[in-house]
Amino acid sequence: MIATESLSKRFPRVTALDRLSLDIGPGVTGLVGANGAGKSTLIKILLGLSPATEGRAAVLGLDVATKGAEIRERVGYMPEHDCLPPDVSATEFVVHMARMSGLPPTAARERTADTLRHVGLYEERYRPIGGYSTGMKQRVKLAQALVHDPRLVLLDEPTNGLDPVGRDEMLGLIRRVHTDFGISVLVTSHLLGELERTCDHVVVIDGGTLLRSSSTTDFTQTTTTLAVEVTDSDTHPDGTAALRAALVAAGLQLHERTEDGLPGAGHILLLEATGDETYDIVRDAVADLGIGLVRMEQRRHHIAEVFRPEAARTMEAQAT
C-alpha cells in the first residue's frame, strides 16, 4: 500500500523525516510517535501535498512526486486540525467533498447519506457544523475521507480532543472501516495503548527515524511475568503482603516492584512464572490464606518498550 525509501524532509531548522524506509501492507496500520516525530509531515508527503527533500515514496504503486492527483483520487485523508466550515451542515459539506472527488450529484448524495450513517451521524447531519461537539466534528472529517470509496485512508490523530468514551467509539469506527468496507487504514496517534488495541501492524517513529515496524502481536507477545491481584480479609488486612510472604516461602521469584490495582483494592504482585506449576502454587497459597483472587494474568509486552526511556516518558506525559 505504502512504500518509502530513504525518505527525508528537512526544514531550515529541523529535520522532520530522516532517511525513513517503510513498507506498509493492507489492513489497519498505526503510525505512532511523540508530538513532532514527523507523522503529519509523512502523511503530507504521501498525499503529494509536500515534496520530500530526498528519497522516494509510492502510495498504491503511484510515485508521490509525480502522481499526487491520482493518489488523492484513490486515498482519503482526515487532517489533524479543525478545518470544517461552521456555517454548512455535515450533509452539505460531505456532498461537496464527494462532488470534488468526481462523483455525480445523485451518487454523491447517496454516498453521503450512507457514510454519515456509518460514522453515526443521523438527524444532526442537517444542522450547521459550527454547533457540533468535537466528537461529531471528528466523525464528519472521517466521513469526508471515506465518501469517495477510497482504497486507503490516512487518518491524522483522529482521536485528538476526544474523551475516553469518544476515543473508544472512534477506534471502533476505524476498525470497521477496514472490516466492513475492506479499506486499508494508516492512523497516527501519540497514544500507544490506542494503537495496540486497534491496529494489525504498528510503525514507531521518533525524531523522523524508524524505531520499529512489526505486527501488533509481535510487539505485544506474552512475557513470563505473572500479575497477581488479591483482596484483603479480616485475618489478612494486607492480603498482598501476606501473599508475597507465602510465595517467597514457596520459592517463587517476586519482583520488588508492585503495581496499583483497582481503585480501593490493594497492589498487584509481579512474579516470574517458571512453568504451569507456578499457577498452582499461587492458587494454593491464595486458598490457604483464605483471601480472594482478583486476577492472575500473563503480562504482555507494550509498544512503549521500543522507545528510548525519555521518549516513552514524554509520550506517557502527553497521554495523560
Ligand X SMILES: Nc1ncnc2c1ncn2[C@@H]1O[C@H](COP(=O)(O)OP(=O)(O)OP(=O)(O)O)[C@@H](O)[C@H]1O
Residues at the contact surface with ligand X, assessed by CB under 6 A: 11, 14, 16, 33, 35-41, 157
In the complex, the smallest distance separating the C-beta of residue 86 from ligand X, rounded to whole angstroms, is 23
Smallest separation (angstroms) from ligand X to the CB of 82? 14
Least distance between ligand X and beta carbon 20 (Å): 11
Contact (CB, 8 A) for 26 and 184: yes
β-pairing, 184-189 with 28-32?
Answer: parallel
As a whole number of angstroms, the distance between CA 115 and CA 122 comes to 10
C-alpha cell at 205: 517513529
Nearer to ligand X, 214 or 318 (CB): 318
Least gap, CB of 195 to ligand X (angstroms):
14
Q: Which amino acid is at 288?
A: D
Q: Residue 11 or 122: which CB sits closer to ligand X? A: 11
**Phi first, then psi: what are they for 47, rounded to 5°?**
-85, 0
User: At its nearest, how many Å lie between ligand X and the CB of residue 212?
Assistant: 16
- For ligand X, the closer of residues 32 and 71 by Cβ is 32
Beta-bridge partners for 202: 30, 214
Task: Give which of 288, 120, 289, 312 is closest to 206, Cα–Cα.
Answer: 312
Minimum Å gap between C-beta 87 and ligand X is 27
Pick the closer one to ligand X by CB: 49 or 262: 49
d(CA 252, CA 243): 11
| Smaller CB separation from ligand X, 217 or 318 | 318
CA atoms within 13 A on the CB side of 96: 10
Distances (CA, A) of 46 to 23, 25, 314: 13, 14, 27
- Residue 2 vs 243, nearer CB to ligand X: 2
- For residues 112 and 145, is the Cβ–Cβ distance under 8 A? no
